[in-house]
Amino acid sequence: GENVEQHPSTLSVQEGDSAVIKCTYSDSASNYFPWYKQELGKGPQLIIDIRSNVGEKKDQRIAVTLNKTAKHFSLHITETQPEDSAVYFCAAPRLGGGADGLTFGKGTHLIIQP
């Protein structure tokens, strides 16, 4: 099965600066990598995802990059704002694909300092 490692566990940045969260995965057959944002007391919300046939995807202030050779992918948030404060999770297919669910990283608590 898949193993996903996520770093850092906590990240504090000044408002307006950029934040980068990194994940590695173990299964070279994995082909889909979503990122989730979880606010306190709520369920995780899918914010961006990337498939293995592209190296980068952007959506306004957030972007995800993927390096299949090195088996790692990263979330980039630019011009951070107070509402970006949350816990972020990366994930990969649990068994390389299909309906078997996702394996999640342990999460990064992002703190935006005013």
Partner 1 sequence: SQTIHQWPATLVQPVGSPLSLECTVEGTSNPNLYWYRQAAGRGLQLLFYSVGIGQISSEVPQNLSASRPQDRQFILSSKKLLLSDSGFYLCAWTTGGGSRGAFFGQGTRLTVV
Across the strands, what pairs with 6?
A: 23
8 Å CB contact between 112 and 10:
no
β-partners of residue 84 are none
Applying CB under 8 A, does 7 fall inside the site for partner 1?
A: no
Cβ distance 97 to 46 under 8 Å?
A: no
CA distance 80 to 101: 30
- CB 49, min distance to partner 1, A: 5
68 binding partner 1? (CB under 8 A): no
Site pattern 20..59 for partner 1 (x: CB under 8 A): ----------xxx-x-x-x--xxxxxx--x----------
* CB of 16 or CB of 54, closer to partner 1: 54
Give the whole-angstrom CA distance, residue 62 versus residue 47.
9
Which residues contact partner 1 (rule: CB under 8 A)? 30-32, 34, 36, 38, 41-46, 49, 87, 89, 93-94, 97-104, 106-107, 109
